[in-house]
Structure 1
Amino acid sequence: MFQRVLICTDFSDGLHRLTHFVSSLALAGMKQIVFLHAVPLWEKGIIPRADTEKIEQAQTRLTETVGESPTDVEVKIEVQSGKPVEIILKVAQTYQSQLIILGSQSRSLLTEKLVGGTMADLSHKTTIPLLVLRPQLISTYTSEELTLRCQHLFRSLLLPYNDTQAANYLVQQVKQLAQQQSDRYLQQCKLCWVLEDTGRREVPKKILPQQAGQTLSQIKADLEKVNLQVETEVREGHCVTQILEAATMADISAIAVSSGTIGKLQEWLVSSFASELLRCSWYPVLFFPPQRG
């Protein structure tokens, strides 16, 4: 799966707790883990400068909490001063990270439009997958629960599907991960196609449930070739509501999505499925940014 991972924490998101669970993360296939904290620039003077005192404090805080790591796992700590997104991109490039883990507070669309967000900025500046964890959830796990969560971060994925370019790209990314993994870290996935219910009889559905089911069966057969256990389901109703319900009943580790609009101008005009899911989901969301080119 993902061997080189960058974990970003601002100490309010609960992700700094993961320093205690390096051994468990290793069981999810990680070989290199970089813990990153971005310190805002000191701006009380005329020229902004690095806040050396807070950098030292954060460095000490992370260093002291990293436990004894397995010999085959490289653990690095990076504390830098500046704009978070710029620092994340730079550090990810330095270590050739394959996955970026970060927290995301639950926000309204209006709040996100006004203040932006690290996730939104990163989503259209990098092609590295992002695993977004809800801070309130990570913070309330017991150590025993978090141990299991870290071991099985990617074991079972829910893939929302609707035959769009983004959905097909998502399926290909998951297939590629399954092909490349050295062990069965990703074991199963569930494909779920939600047919939007307009509530108006005079408006016929563009895709019938039988057609959606047939398409999902073809994708299932393709994914089973890379040693994945695959289930399919067709639902009707509001997309986000139905996907979250499917996640609850399917016992999944994370919801995987892709989108080409998060963080872009389109988001100011209409909320995409992926962005709405990120705001509403308590489940981890594995986001695949679209390829640039």
Structure 2
Amino acid sequence: MKQIVFLHAVPLSERGIIPQVDIEKIEQAQTRFAEAIGESPTDIEVKIEVQSGKPVDIILKVAQTYRSQLIILGSQSRSLLTEKLLGSTMANLSRRTPIPLLVLRPQLIYAYTSEELILRCQHLFRSLLLPYNGTQAADYLVQEVKQLAQQQSGRYLQQCKLCWVLEDSGRREIPKKILPQQAEQTLSQIKADLEVENLQVEIEVREGHSVTEVLEAAAMGDLSAIAVSSGTIGKLQEWLVSSFAAELLRFSWYPILFFPNERG
């Protein structure tokens, strides 16, 4: 990283009839940032932004101002119903920004010592798990990761694991749309394409529930993060059927590297 912008959005004060900027809370946030950050490394530019207003609007504005290439968010575990009733910054942001999002569990970060955290951050993107199922969103994800590999100045991205989970209906009379051999053949072609970019690539075909199997593949694969893409998070489709990416974000303790995809 060459530049880090720490951003805190302070809600407008509603003490009076007309919402106003909460000067007191802005000053408190600025003081806390200054104490927590201290002196930054000389080769990294550190900026602090504390603004008042709607979080998503502020995030988009600040990201555009600094030409940020990644937005890092913390995420609390919550149910689908709670998210629909209260909304989600991540869900709203994913609909409005083309910038990749990195979603982290604060509880997991708190458990690290300073020494462990430094090492974890150094290898945050070293080895990615790419869930694949033959959809447009999955192909988009592969191309985005390929672009990362092409553009990286160092070797922060070194390995990928492609995992295709064939959903098991549990009913013998319903044939699978994709056979394991077909899935493995498709993954082999993608593997060859990614290996051209100097990536080490593994492939795996599993059967069962997608989210459960992907999380198990991550646990068994010594991976840094799970990369996903979707165009339906927070949209009407999710009120009917929750998307795979949304479910993964709710249940995964692994960092999630999310690539917004307008085409779904």
TM-score, normalised by the number of residues in structure 2: 0.98
Residue by residue over 1:51-88, the C-alpha shift from the partner in whole angstroms, topping out at 9 and shown as x without a partner, is 11110110011112213323221100000111111111
What is the deviation of 1:291?
4.4
What is the rounded CA distance, in whole Å, between the counterparts of 2:215 and 2:195 in structure 1?
A: 24
Select which of 68, 72, 79 maps to 1:97.
Answer: 68
Cross-structure match for 1:17: none
Contact 2:71 2:102 (8 Å CA) reproduced:
yes
Size of the aligned set, in residue pairs, is 263
Select which of 220, 232, 239 maps to 2:210.
Answer: 239
Name segments (4+ residues, structure 1) moved above 4 Å.
none
SS at match of 1:127: coil
Cross-structure match for 1:154: 125
Question: Any residues of structure 2 matched to 1:157-168 within 5 Å, and which?
Answer: 157-168=128-139
2:152 is aligned with 1:181: yes
What is the rounded CA distance, in whole Å, between the counterparts of 1:186 and 1:122 in structure 2?
A: 25
What is the rounded CA distance, in whole Å, between the counterparts of 2:61 and 2:213 in structure 1?
A: 37
SS at match of 2:96: coil
Letter in 2 for 1:182: S
Cross-structure match for 1:201: 172
Cross-structure match for 1:62: 33
Unaligned 5+ segments in structure 1 are 1-29
Cross-structure match for 1:3: none
Contact 2:231 2:262 (8 Å CA) reproduced:
no
SS at match of 1:183: coil
Residue by residue over 1:25-69, the C-alpha shift from the partner in whole angstroms, topping out at 9 and shown as x without a partner, is xxxxx1010000111111111211111111011001111221332
What is the rounded CA distance, in whole Å, between the counterparts of 2:226 and 2:172 in structure 1?
A: 31
TM-score, normalised by the number of residues in structure 1: 0.88
Cross-structure match for 1:279: 250
2:17 is aligned with 1:41: no
Unaligned 5+ segments in structure 2 are none
Letter in 1 for 2:92: D
Letter in 2 for 1:159: L
2:127 is aligned with 1:121: no
Cross-structure match for 1:110: 81
CA RMSD between the two structures: 0.9
